[in-house]
């Protein structure tokens, strides 16, 4: 039994370590360091990632080629640091990497902030709508509790507490309804802001990216 537990623990540890690996055993054995560097940079990984790759591949008896990896990584930077990619990352609300060199960084950052304006405006509307839906669900739960709580059916000594609880539920429902009304008004305002932002961002994006929006 102890042997089985030890083997099981070892297997779980191996799985955990595998889940933390930067690259797989197959990638190490393939040895296409240029392609790996290009792929890493194209999604924003820093060149220092090669250090983790060397550790992971070392466990499999494979020694990576850092120079080849860096050649590919520089190619990937050219893919990642385009203004269009920056715009798409910002529009999706995805954090940007700082791997872009100065020559590419300025237009990339400008496009990212442009896209992020759009995401931020949309997210403000979404958060307000989500809050309103959450309050509506709370009202439904409180109303159900209110309708299913019969203070006449409880012990006399518990009746006052029961009635106070019903009063609290009514107050929560009234307060939630007031908040929902306020949120709906704020949603309308934010939707107007969103329309203005969409127009401004799309106009600028069409200038930056020929064919955008077609």
- pLDDT of 96-149, one tens digit each? 999 999 999 999 999 999 999 999 999 999 999 999 999 999 999 999 999 988
pLDDT tier at 20, thresholds 50, 70, 90: low
State the pLDDT confidence band at 160, using cuts at 50, 70 and 90.
Answer: confident
Alpha helices, H only, 64-101: 66-80, 83-91
Is residue 105, in this structure, part of any structural domain at all? Answer: no
Residues 200 and 120 in one domain: yes
C-alpha triplet 120, 125, 129: angle, nearest 5°: 140
Q: Looking at the structure, do residues 65 and 120 belong to the same domain, yes or no?
A: no
- Do 203 and 123 sit in the same domain of this protein? yes
Q: Is 183 inside any structural domain? A: yes
Same-domain check for residues 204 and 118: yes
Domain count, the chain: 2
**Could you give the CA distance from residue 82 to residue 105 in angstroms, rounded to a whole number?**
9
* DSSP annotation of 96: P
Whether 57 is in a domain gets the answer yes
Instruction: Please check whether residues 135 and 203 belong to one and the same domain.
Output: yes
Residue 125, pLDDT score: 97
Whether the model pTM is above 0.75: yes
CA angle 150, 156, 159 (to 5 degrees): 45
Does 54 share its domain with 123? no
Statement to judge: residues 75 and 118 lie in one domain: no
What would the two tokens of residue 63 be? 């020694």
In a domain, 74, yes or no: yes
pLDDT at position 155 is: 83
Residues 6+ apart with CB under 8 A from 25: 60
Report residue 52 as tokens. 């983790």
Q: Give yes or no: residues 127 and 177 share one domain.
A: yes
> Would you say residue 85 lies in a domain?
no
Same domain for 50 and 117, yes or no, is no
171 in a structural domain: yes
Give the H or E element holding residue 155.
none
Enclosing domain of residue 137: 112-208
Determine which of 66-75, 85-94, 143-152, 173-182 has the lowest per-residue pLDDT on average: 143-152
Angle at 179 between CA 178 and CA 183, to 5 degrees: 120
Residue 212: predicted pLDDT: 85
Greater model confidence, 7 or 21: 21
Question: Residues of the chain with pLDDT > 70: what percent?
Answer: 90
Mean pLDDT across 178-207: 96
Please indicate, yes or no, if residue 102 is contained in any of the structural domains. no
Within a domain: 193: yes
Beta-strand ranges (E) seen in the chain are none
State whether 74 and 116 are in the same domain.
no
Could you report the per-residue pLDDT of 50-81, keeping only the tens digit for each? 999 999 999 999 999 999 999 999 999 999 99
């Amino acid at each position: 039994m102890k042997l089985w537990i030890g083997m099981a623990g070892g297997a779980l540890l191996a799985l955990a370590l595998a889940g933390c690996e930067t690259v797989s055993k197959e990638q190490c054995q393939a040895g296409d360091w240029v392609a790996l560097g290009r792929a890493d940079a194209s999604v924003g990984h820093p060149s220092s990632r090669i250090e983790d790759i060397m550790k992971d591949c070392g466990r499999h008896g494979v020694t990576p080629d850092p120079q080849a990896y860096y050649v590919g990584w520089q190619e990937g930077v050219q893919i990642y640091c385009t203004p269009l990619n920056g715009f798409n990352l910002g529009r999706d609300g995805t954090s940007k990497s700082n791997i872009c060199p100065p020559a590419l960084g300025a237009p990339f950052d400008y496009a990212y902030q442009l896209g992020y304006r759009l995401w931020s405006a949309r997210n403000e509307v979404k958060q307000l709508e989500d809050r309103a839906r959450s309050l509506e669900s709370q009202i439904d739960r409180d109303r159900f509790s209110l309708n299913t709580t019969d203070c006449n059916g409880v012990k006399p000594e518990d009746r006052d507490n029961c009635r106070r609880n019903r009063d609290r539920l009514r107050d929560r429902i009234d307060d939630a309804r007031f908040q929902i009304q306020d949120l709906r008004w704020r949603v309308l305002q934010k939707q107007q802001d969103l329309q203005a932002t969409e127009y401004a961002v799309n106009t600028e994006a069409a200038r930056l990216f020929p064919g955008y929006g077609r």
